[in-house]
Every structure is written in structure tokens, then in C-alpha cells.
Amino acid sequence: MPEIYLIDVTNRDGVQTAKLGLSKLEKTMINIYLNDMGVFQSEFGFPTTRHEINYLKANLELVEMGVLKHIRLGGWIRAIIEDVETTFQLIPDIKHLNLSISTSDQMINGKFQGRRKRHDIIKDMTEAVDAARAHGAESIGVNAEDASRTDINYLLEFGLAAREHGADRLRYCDTLGYDNPFTIYDNGRILAEKVALPIELHCHNDLGMAVANSISGAMGVIDGGQDAYINTTINGIGERAGNADLIAVILAATKSKETATRYPLGGSIKLKLASKIAKFAEYAFKVDIPINQPGVGANAFAHSSGIHADGVLKDPENYELYSYEELGRGDPIKVETGREIIAGQYSGTAGFGHVMGKLEVSFKNREEANEILELVRYANVESQKPLVEEELKFIARYPEIAKKLLTLTPLT
């Protein structure tokens, strides 16, 4: 039976959001959290962007080292041969790629201004797929940008050409959030039936339907006989009004009426880590989780009116579809209200020793402590905010990887 899998694109669509960004260490922590949660793939960055090179290579090393055990790391590039060549020149060990190109007449005419026609788009894409395969890519997803505004017959032609050239998945991008749950169900189903490839649903939230569209599109794909891959971002962070929120998608797939039995979520997703990953993204992006965010918002389990409070106290199921414990909530958070020593870019050994001692991290000798402190200083320079405990522990545990993440050398 086909299933739903998750491809999180926080480290690609999330970070390309206007006014927002993440340090390379923060992106790495997100890959680790996604791995721990059981997410199928992280779209971990941009292989043709020079400042990503050290980060991408370091994360591929974490895969080799077994730190990132189950998750796949996929790069995002344009579906043109030049991008494929540059990718394998810069990141020879990359295994998974998504190749993206616009398919709607609006974008073909509006972006390429008459320089490319429909058949050129298919030619560019198939050449890129061939090149990626020739370079040894293990999995190739082909992205149809603006698929929801693309003539369905052309989209089918595009998808079939992708399959013929050995693509593993087709990404249906509702780039502008134009679909509704009914239209995306139909398109998902037609693509699954006729192209006969697993289909990715990439939904934006411009009309407030990103999560509903993702689930409905996935239902169409599964009814069409193929696996569905929903693209998510943590806290729904993404271009303009954002993408489908990771936690809301998991909740919708597992808790909504009659969904889980007919459209099962594949792999083993650890919802217990939901609160942790959402809080980290909130801190790293410096964007508050909305108070009413499903599952992880401050009010997601808050009750005040008489009838609701009385009802939920008698039996939580009266007014809660799922329990806060399932999302890893309920533990008290320790907030320092007295003296605080923080490790930052100008920290010295005494303060740093104190901070790491509290985390029960010890060092072999003074040299090692100094080396880790130096890395922590650089990480703080990059992120411009105090590192969280798990970032400090990561640096102490994998200093060589941290060194690579923190090395940004502009071309001369």
C-alpha cells in the first residue's frame, strides 16, 4: 500500500525566505533534529551556492560518520546541465538531488521572455536528469515549478519525459498557493496514475490552505497508486505566507478523520520531538511560534471558558484531539532568573568552563578546552545569538565538523 513520506525543505525554502536566515550550524542542527524525528529527507541546501559548500560537505560527512543515520540529504538546483556540472564539481559526494524548472506558460513566457518554449523546458530538464545520473546521483527528483498553473497535458508530458530519463520522483509545486484541496487531489491522482512515479506535493500558504492541500494532494497520489512525499518546513516558515508546517502535516496525517488508516504516514515519525524542533526553529529564525499554532502554539492546549475547562478536566478527549505529551510538551522549562554566564564571541576560559561544566561536558586538557572555546566564539559571531545547549554539545563532540561549518572563505 502506498504511503506518505516527508521531505522537509526548511534548509532550502525556509532559508530563502525574505528577511530570514540560519547560520550553517543552525542548519546542521535542523538536519540532526529532522533525522532524530524520522523525517525521510532534508532538502539541505544549495550545492551551486559557494558559501554552502563547506556546510554541505560537512553534513555529508555526518552521514558517513553515522551521526545522520536514516535521513537523506538532498540538494536543490535548477534543472539545467550547468547546475548539475557545478554541483558535482563542488560537492562530488552528493547523492540526492532535486532539479527544478518552471512549467507554467505564465512563468515560461514571463520569466524567459520568449527565449524558452515548452519543448526547451523538457529538453533542459531531461539533459539535467541524464547528467545527474551520469555523475552517479542515487535519487533524482524533478520539480515542476508552478505546476498548479500548468496545463495538465503539458505537465503529464513533462512528467513522462522525466520518468523516461530515469527520474525517481516528480515534485508538484503549488508555488503560489493557488490550488484548493479538490484541485490538488485531482492533479495528484492524475499524475500518479499517468506518470506512474511517486509524486511530491510542495504547497505554499498564500490562501491559508498549504496543510490541507498537502494532505489532499497526497490522498490523490495514493489513490492513484503511488507514494506521496509531502514537502514541509518547520513552523511553516517559507516564502511569503510560508509552506506547509511540518508538525501540522504530521498531526493532520495521523489524527484527522479516517486519514491514517487509508493514507498511512510511512517510516516511524517521532512526534515526541515536535516541541523541541519547533522551539529550536523559533529561536534560530527569531520568529515566534504563533500562539494558536497546531500542536506547538502556546494556546494549543489552553482552556479558559467555563464549559471547556470543566469538560477537559473531566476528560481531556472532550476538548483535545491529541495530548500535549505526544508532542513532547509538559516538562517544565528552566529559565535562569539570577546570575547568568553565557558563552559568546568574547568569552574567556573561566566563563566557558563554567557553562560547559553545567552541561556536564569535560575536556581532556586546557588545549582542547581552548580549541572548543574558539569554535564557540566563531559560531556566535555567525549566529549573533547565544548558542543553545545542544549546539554547544555538538561543537564539543564534533570539533572538526564545526570547524568546517564555520569556515567561510569568499573567492578572491
Q: Which residues bind Zn ion (CB under 5 A)?
A: 13
Cα separation, 179 vs 158, in Å, equals 19
Q: Which is nearer to Zn ion, 13 or 124 (CB)?
A: 13
Let me know: does 129 contact 93? Beta carbons within 8 Å. Answer: no
Q: Which amino acid is it at 156? A: L
SS3 of 81-127: HHHHHHHHHHCCCCCEEEEEEECCHHHHHHHHCCCCCHHHHHHHHHH
Task: Kindly write down the DSSP assignment for every residue of 227-290, as one continuous string.
Answer: -EEEEEBGGG--STT-B-BHHHHHHHHHHSTTHHHHSPBPS---GGGHHHHHHHHHHHHT-PPP
Nearest distance from C-beta of residue 6 to Zn ion, angstroms: 15
Q: Which is nearer to Zn ion, 146 or 391 (CB)?
A: 146
Q: Which is nearer to Zn ion, 242 or 328 (CB)?
A: 242
**CA angle 278-72-188, nearest 5°?**
80
Q: Which is nearer to Zn ion, 43 or 83 (CB)?
A: 43
User: How close are the terminal C-alpha atoms of the chain, in Å?
Assistant: 54
Q: Which is nearer to Zn ion, 87 or 243 (CB)?
A: 243
H or E segment to which residue 132 belongs: helix 118-134
Cα separation, 142 vs 111, in Å, equals 19
Nearest distance from C-beta of residue 209 to Zn ion, angstroms: 14
Q: Which is nearer to Zn ion, 13 or 83 (CB)?
A: 13
Nearest distance from C-beta of residue 337 to Zn ion, angstroms: 41
Nearest distance from C-beta of residue 188 to Zn ion, angstroms: 17
Nearest distance from C-beta of residue 249 to Zn ion, angstroms: 14
Q: Which is nearer to Zn ion, 81 or 176 (CB)?
A: 176
Q: What is the dihedral of CA 76, 78, 83, 89, to 10 degrees?
A: 10
All 3 cell numbers of residue 187?
492533479
Nearest distance from C-beta of residue 238 to Zn ion, angstroms: 6
Nearest distance from C-beta of residue 391 to Zn ion, angstroms: 27
- Residue facing Zn ion at closest CB distance: 13
